[in-house]
Structure 1
Amino acid sequence: MVPDTPQILFLAYFSRSGSTFLSSRLDRYGDVGVTVESAFMRTLLLKKGELRRAAGPGEVYGMLENEARFANLGLSRAALSEHLKPGGAYGVGEVARAILGAYFAEKKPGARVWVVKEGGSGFLVNAISRELPEARFLHVIRDGRAVLNSGLNAVRPYGEGERMARDPLAVARVWSGFVDGVDAFRAARPERCLECRYEDLMADEEGELRRLRRSLGLPEEAPRSTGEGEGYYEAMPEKERSIHRLVSGGAVRGRVDAWRDELGRGDRLVFEYRARRSLRRHGYGAEAPGLPALLRDRDFLASYVSSLARRVGSWRRLARNPVRLLYVIRTTALRLKDRLT
């Protein structure tokens, strides 16, 4: 039976893992609504103390309106005020429910499942689960080598022309940390965390959607809008569409293993060396040999040294940007706190 109050489902995903493709498919159902990508939960968690001191909805809106991804939701001050009680002293969960209520009241009032597309939620599963104890998570996972390959070939929509992935060592470190954190949460609270493998979604889109709907307590078969993912694609901010062109078409199964031909050998070896445990735990396998053999491999050494050089360069650029540096420090501290709780 479908509950009277819409379910809240956070998509937990690492960038380039197929979350937008899945979002576009889920959003075609009349009883499921998916937000465009935003970062409002991270912002609310960072401003938890300020929310407690806020005097009313207008002050809360003022905390959010300058966050670039919040603007993607297209919420007005009046819309948020309509769903957030007056009086102040708000909790994170209270404001999050108001944001979602206001968003879906306009975008899809008939939705029985509210899906939140926010990649950073996978780094903050414990904090979000405390603030929204009714929420569940859907981990969208893809072979990390494919994630790396896709990131190396995609340009950041909000950057200055830089690629979404810069080097295999950094991506392997963050990807494995992300996956391990979500895995730990799922092991401790299996009833609150689902999983969808990108490879399975590409191989059997209809079967995976039916499985997910069943897990959410929804009828496996339900009316859908026509087309593939055009509606969700059109709802996305224009600058993000360039990296999601495949969303409005059908599944491209040939891209599942494209990394095997496109990813450089040295980059593959570095990634597999750093993320081998996470890869193997999810059945992806890691073909890299042991460290003694790798230290004699020129491709591995060249890629590893290049990754370290890029890391130093990134730190230097960050040190020259105090605003960005403060943001990284606060976000990193928030993620670290989540992992330790």
Structure 2
Amino acid sequence: MSAARSYPPSATRGQILGNDRSIERAKWPVFVVGCHRSGTNLLYNNLLSAGGFAVYRGYLPIYKMLIPRFGSVEKVKNRRKILETWLRSKGFRRSDLNRHELMEQVLNTCQTGGDFIRIVMEAIARNQGVARWAVYDPDNVLYIPRIKADLPQALFIHIIRDGRDIALSLKKMGGFRPLPWDRRSGGLMATALYWEWTVRKGRQYGAQIPRDYIEVHYEDLVRNPASTLATLTEFLHHDLDHQRIQSTVSRLKSNSSFLEEEKQGRANPVQRWKDKLSTQDIAALEALIGPSLEEFGYPLTTPLSDREPGLQEKWMRAVYPLFLDTKLALKIKTPLGRMANLSALELTDSAAQEDLPT
């Protein structure tokens, strides 16, 4: 299993890091995206540990939460509300930015969601004395076209993981809320369809920008980190030295949903589903998402005769993509986006904040 695409097709590390176009590309912003629990955090930590990137582990959900909630950034009143809200967030508190300088720049020059991200991240990079920044947010996989339109130089790394492991992990964490009638079963099958839908969205969008999009597999990053990082070095035109990265990443706190295994020294994040899922669950998952698993490079273990989808699986396959498409469209294209939940921002009391200039 290996990365599906890389840029350029062939070059040595010295050639990649040495020509003029590489120097230009070596400053372009990077977005780490993928379905939740796919290893986006691990990949992001690898990038930051390489050096040369601004170190920031805050949250900038401009497309997912802030624009749906308050409206287009082009309007000053909306921009003001977005900024007022983000200045109360944990993401701002982690940025170490000057509140008044940020207010002035955002209110006077920000016209798009991409501008908002760029203004924040460029300020963080300047403060840290580096020329490049990267953003980690799994949900940005659903907004690749908007990000690319706002930030034409944006590069995207889409990390993909075995859908059986994703379904297992997200089910354990309650990370996906299935339709009411599927909740009694724990939502394992519905969560697998969410994984399939998310990965397909990312691949669909990535196919439109092949020079600026790459796919890597979580399993490769874990089992063959040196070769995976070498591929990303070519794509990003950024030296991702494996030894330097490992010396830092090994000390970082894990966000695994199976921390109890890590504490006991028996963590194996690759193909955990083989030990944790029953034979019946594996067969059901492979009947439901088997074609996508194979397409994305993951072999099946259940004989074909035992994974013929039944009426329930066929019904779920018909309903869930429509449900997820509709839910996303309602959020970003209708007033229902005003109901976007902001709890993940961990906001402080607005009364404790200074007023923005009028």
State the TM-score, normalized to the length of structure 2: 0.67
User: What is the CA distance between 1:46 and its match in structure 2?
Assistant: 2.2
* 2:330 is the alignment partner of 1:333: yes
Corresponding position of 1:128: 147
Q: Which whole-Å CA distance do the structure 2 matches of 1:231 and 1:110 have between them?
A: 22
Task: Give the alignment's Cα RMSD to 1 decimal.
Answer: 4.1
Q: Which whole-Å CA distance do the structure 2 matches of 1:282 and 1:119 have between them?
A: 18
Q: Which whole-Å CA distance do the structure 2 matches of 1:17 and 1:283 have between them?
A: 15
* 2:196 is the alignment partner of 1:176: yes
Alignment partner of 2:75 out of 53, 60, 69 = 53
Q: Which whole-Å CA distance do the structure 1 matches of 2:58 and 2:107 have between them?
A: 27
User: What is the CA distance between 1:125 and its match in structure 2?
Assistant: 1.3
Kindly tell me: are residues 76 and 61 of structure 1, through their superposed partners in 2, closer, same or farther at Cα, counting changes over 3 Å?
Answer: farther
Kindly tell me: are residues 66 and 209 of structure 1, through their superposed partners in 2, closer, same or farther at Cα, counting changes over 3 Å?
Answer: same
Alignment partner of 1:64 out of 70, 83, 86 = 86
The answer to whether the 8 Å contact 2:56/2:94 transfers is no
- Structure 1 unmatched ranges of 5 or more: 157-162, 234-239, 316-327
* Counterpart amino acid of residue 228 in structure 2: E
Q: How does 1:66-215 map to 2 (within 5 A)?
A: 73=95, 77-78=99-100, 80-81=102-103, 84=105, 86-87=107-108, 90-106=111-127, 108-112=128-132, 114-154=133-173, 166-215=186-235
Cα deviations by residue, 1:85-144 (Å, 9 ceiling, x for unpaired): 5536622222221121133334x43143x2110111111111221122211110000110
Q: What secondary structure does 2:141 align onto?
A: helix
Q: Give aligned-pair identity as a percent.
A: 21
* 2:39 is the alignment partner of 1:18: yes
Alignment partner of 1:217 out of 223, 237, 245 = 237
Kindly tell me: are residues 57 and 223 of structure 1, through their superposed partners in 2, closer, same or farther at Cα, counting changes over 3 Å?
Answer: farther
Corresponding position of 2:339: none
Q: Which whole-Å CA distance do the structure 2 matches of 1:148 and 1:117 have between them?
A: 21
Kindly tell me: are residues 187 and 336 of structure 1, through their superposed partners in 2, closer, same or farther at Cα, counting changes over 3 Å?
Answer: farther
User: What is the CA distance between 1:187 and its match in structure 2?
Assistant: 2.1
Q: Which whole-Å CA distance do the structure 2 matches of 1:79 and 1:223 have between them?
A: 38
Q: Which has the higher contact order (CA 8 A, sep 6+)?
A: 2
Kindly tell me: are residues 230 and 57 of structure 1, through their superposed partners in 2, closer, same or farther at Cα, counting changes over 3 Å?
Answer: farther
Kindly tell me: are residues 208 and 15 of structure 1, through their superposed partners in 2, closer, same or farther at Cα, counting changes over 3 Å?
Answer: same
The answer to whether the 8 Å contact 2:167/2:188 transfers is yes
Q: What secondary structure does 2:207 align onto?
A: helix
User: What is the CA distance between 1:293 and its match in structure 2?
Assistant: 4.8
Cα deviations by residue, 1:16-46 (Å, 9 ceiling, x for unpaired): 1112122222211221345425223423542
The answer to whether the 8 Å contact 2:25/2:237 transfers is no
Kindly tell me: are residues 126 and 61 of structure 1, through their superposed partners in 2, closer, same or farther at Cα, counting changes over 3 Å?
Answer: same
Alignment coverage as a number of residue pairs: 294
* Counterpart amino acid of residue 68 in structure 2: L
Kindly tell me: are residues 56 and 196 of structure 1, through their superposed partners in 2, closer, same or farther at Cα, counting changes over 3 Å?
Answer: same
The answer to whether the 8 Å contact 2:160/2:218 transfers is yes
Q: What secondary structure does 1:254 align onto?
A: coil
Cα deviations by residue, 1:130-178 (Å, 9 ceiling, x for unpaired): 122211110000110011222333466xxxxxx9x94222112211111
Q: What secondary structure does 2:297 align onto?
A: coil
Q: What secondary structure does 2:158 align onto?
A: strand
User: What is the CA distance between 1:272 and its match in structure 2?
Assistant: 2.0
Q: What secondary structure does 2:192 align onto?
A: helix
User: What is the CA distance between 1:58 and its match in structure 2?
Assistant: 5.5
The answer to whether the 8 Å contact 1:28/1:225 transfers is yes
User: What is the CA distance between 1:274 and its match in structure 2?
Assistant: 2.5
User: What is the CA distance between 1:216 and its match in structure 2?
Assistant: 0.8
- Structure 2 unmatched ranges of 5 or more: 1-21, 176-182, 335-358
Kindly tell me: are residues 72 and 52 of structure 1, through their superposed partners in 2, closer, same or farther at Cα, counting changes over 3 Å?
Answer: same
User: What is the CA distance between 1:224 and its match in structure 2?
Assistant: 3.5
State the TM-score, normalized to the length of structure 1: 0.70
* Counterpart amino acid of residue 99 in structure 1: V
